Amino acid sequence: MKELVVISGKGGTGKTSIVAAFASLAKNAIFADCDVDAADLHLVLEPNVKQTSDFSGGKQASIITEKCISCGKCKDLCKFDAINLDGPANDIVAKTYTVDPVSCEGCKVCVEFCPADAIEFKDSINGQWFISETRFGTMVHAKLGIAEENSGKLVSLIRKETKRIAQEQKNDLIIIDGSPGIGCPVIASITGADLVLIITEPTLSGKHDLERVAELAAGFDIPVLVAINKFDLNPDMAGQIEEDVLKRGIKVVGKIRYDKAFTKAQIMKTSVVEYTGSAVTEDIKALWRNVMYAI
Ligand code: SF4
Ligand code: SF4
């Protein structure tokens, strides 16, 4: 079983559309959406959710109103300004303290020092993850709560579960829609994968972002390939990118022309390959063949 991770230097390069097209071309594959901060593979693959689980990225404090004696010690100690005197009355005091879950960083200091043993320390629910069926096979994906962090931890969880299911189902290939950028989620997306495919665009910012992400991937001792989306919008820049990455020992294995079919397919909730048999589909098929040859 092989694991292919598709990433990009930044969002909006067409990465997810290409992953969706790969899904429609793959045989006996399983898919994972590890772009958890902007998950949209489900918009094309239209998963039928079979199992939903909560994701906990850490622990948080919460005050038990009935026990609070309103001494204010927790508020004084909290470095994150997460505790306020805005709770209801109880049998002892007219007002109690509460924890703001958005500000609580889970340091546990308040829990340790509360004289009334009034503070609980429980798993915080930061999102949900799903095992679903799609028309191309099983998909594992997630929804992170608004402004939640720990997406690297969620990415690792999704990859682990995808691998477990792939082993059970005897899938030959795992295709991962990885996180963009160079932060913790992308590191969690590519660690231990068999092949990384970077999608880029022929723009100056695309070139810079590609350099940064290629540098990051190089540190992981994983084979890296590049595909240039919309290459014909700036063939000179596409050529420059090809030359640049070659100097790093990375090959451009696909060039996909600009085609409005990409957007139209997205609107129709289909992959480009399902939507049209035109030249752009041939570009994607050629890229797919090259990637499958390399993995
Ligand atoms: S330290 Fe405990 S008893 Fe004191 S205000 Fe905080 S929660 Fe209430
Ligand atoms: S766990 Fe830490 S951050 Fe959270 S409320 Fe208590 S002292 Fe503040």
Q: What is the pLDDT of residues 134-154, one digit of tens each?
A: 999 999 999 887 666 668 889
CA distance 79 to 227: 46
Higher-scoring residue by pLDDT: 230, 151:
230
Lowest mean pLDDT among 121-130, 132-141, 284-293: 121-130
Q: Ligand 2 center to residue 144 CA distance, Å?
A: 22
Which pLDDT belongs to residue 39? 81
Backbone Cα Rg of the chain: 23
> What is the pLDDT averaged over residues 202-206?
92
> What is the pLDDT averaged over residues 125-139?
94
Which pLDDT belongs to residue 102? 85
At a CB cut-off of 8 Å and minimum separation 6, what does 206 contact? 9, 10, 13, 200, 237, 241
> What is the pLDDT averaged over residues 4-21?
90
Q: Ligand 2 center to residue 179 CA distance, Å?
A: 30
Q: Ligand 2 center to residue 135 CA distance, Å?
A: 45
For β-strands 96-99 and 83-87, DSSP reports them as: antiparallel
CA distance 147 to 58: 14
Atom of ligand 2 nearest to the CA of 107: 2
Which pLDDT belongs to residue 126? 85
- Identify the residue whose C-alpha is closest to ligand 1 atom 4: 71
CA distance 57 to 277: 43
Model confidence at 217, pLDDT cuts 50, 70, 90, reads confident
> What is the pLDDT averaged over residues 78-88?
96
Residue whose token pair is 């043993």: 117
Q: Tens digit of pLDDT for each residue in 49-70?
A: 999 999 988 899 999 999 999 9
User: For ligand 2, is residue 63 a contact (CB within 6 Å)?
Assistant: no
Give the mutation target among 60, 73, 85 for probing the ligand 1 site: most ligand atoms within 8 A of CB. 73
HSE-up of 184 (CA within 13 Å, CB side)?
Answer: 9
Question: What percent of the chain lies above the pLDDT cut of 70?
Answer: 98
Give the mutation target among 81, 110, 113, 121 for probing the ligand 2 site: most ligand atoms within 8 A of CB. 110
Which pLDDT belongs to residue 146? 67
Give the mutation target among 64, 67, 97, 120 for probing the ligand 1 site: most ligand atoms within 8 A of CB. 97
CA distance 177 to 196: 11
Mean pLDDT, all residues of the chain: 92
Q: Ligand 1 center to residue 113 CA distance, Å?
A: 9
Which pLDDT belongs to residue 128? 93
Of the candidates 58, 66, 97, the one whose C-alpha atom is nearest the C-alpha of residue 81 is: 97
The single-letter DSSP state of residue 179 is P
> What is the pLDDT averaged over residues 202-215?
90
Residue 229 parent element (H or E): strand 224-229
- Identify the residue whose C-alpha is closest to ligand 1 atom 2: 114
Looking at the CA of 77, which ligand is closest?
2
Look at residue 228 and give its three-state secondary structure. strand
Question: What percent of the chain lies above the pLDDT cut of 90?
Answer: 72
User: Does residue 120 surpass a pLDDT of 70?
Assistant: yes
Which pLDDT belongs to residue 9? 79
CA angle at residue 17 from 189 to 237, to 5 degrees?
Answer: 90
> What is the pLDDT averaged over residues 111-137?
95
Structure-token pair, residue 273: 């390959």
Look at residue 60 and give its three-state secondary structure. strand
* Domains within the chain, CATH numbers bracketed: 2-56+127-294 (3.40.50.300), 58-124 (3.30.70.20)
User: For ligand 2, is residue 7 a contact (CB within 6 Å)?
Assistant: no
Are 33 and 143 within 8 A, CB to CB?
no
pTM above threshold 0.75: yes
Are 61 and 120 within 8 A, CB to CB?
yes
Atom of ligand 2 nearest to the CA of 106: 1
User: For ligand 1, is residue 166 a contact (CB within 6 Å)?
Assistant: no
> What is the pLDDT averaged over residues 234-259?
95
CA distance 57 to 123: 8
User: For ligand 1, is residue 82 a contact (CB within 6 Å)?
Assistant: no
CA distance 38 to 125: 19
